[in-house]
Chains A and B, each alone.
Chain A
Amino acid sequence: DTGVSQNPRHKITKRGQNVTFRCDPISEHNRLYWYRQTLGQGPEFLTYFQNEAQLEKSRLLSDRFSAERPKGSFSTLEIQRTEQGDSAMYLCASSFGAGRETQYFGPGTRLLVL
């Protein structure tokens, strides 16, 4: 068990560019979650997958955001046409089972949009 990993750890981009983040969950965890954390706030739910199916998306997830988990293993989160307001820490978590199981978090990807 190597824990949840995220890449890259840091990303600096210019406004209008596209960025993609990757999350590798704990192996055999069927659920994968994305959260966003801005300065001074707690993480906010964005979306989650059960295996390869995306089950829920927050209204925070505008149409510039898309997430995939094509084979039910790793996941990617893409932000198109980035805006300065997208600057945040993007956290990934995974869990095994259904419902209220403990979620284990990765180290996060910190995005800065200039």
Chain B
Amino acid sequence: AQSVTQLGSHVSVSEGALVLLRCNYSSSVPPYLFWYVQYPNQGLQLLLKYTSAATLVKGINGFEAEFKKSETSFHLTKPSAHMSDAAEYFCAVNRDDKIIFGKGTRLHILP
């Protein structure tokens, strides 16, 4: 069954530093993978989506993620963190027409 595991429930980076949020997936079929962001008291916004067209996926707000089948990973990165990136990030996989979410990683940006 498809699932995702996010490593680290909290990640802190300094403003301007590299952001790296880790996600590993488990899937018996080629997966569709997602990263969503959730700001406080708001719904989820799609950052990017992998559909097997290209292994490097570029999303909104300068984020990108690379699908690595050999590592079963789909880590999210951004070269330079901004204060406005502080939020909760969810990795997710499509399974049987519904989305299965990881537990989330809260990103803190240090001034």
Q: What is the interface of chain A, defined by CB distance below 8 A to chain B?
A: 4, 6, 31, 33, 35, 40-45, 48, 55-56, 91, 93, 98-100, 102-108, 110
Contacts and interface: CB of A to CB of B under 8 A. Distances in A.
A93 B90 CA distance: 15
A91 B101 contact: no
Contacts of A4: 43
B90 A42 contact: yes
Contacts of A41: 103-104
Contacts, number: 57
A107 B98 contact: no
Interface of B: 9, 32, 34, 36, 41-46, 49, 51, 90, 92, 94, 96-104
Nearest to A95: B97
Contacts of A107: 42-43
Given A33-B99, A45-B99, A104-B46, 12 more contacts: A4-B43, A31-B97, A33-B98, A42-B103, A43-B44, A44-B101, A48-B97, A56-B98, A91-B43, A105-B36, A105-B43, A108-B42
Max chain A CB contacts within 10 Å: which of B9, B42, B44, B46?
Answer: B44
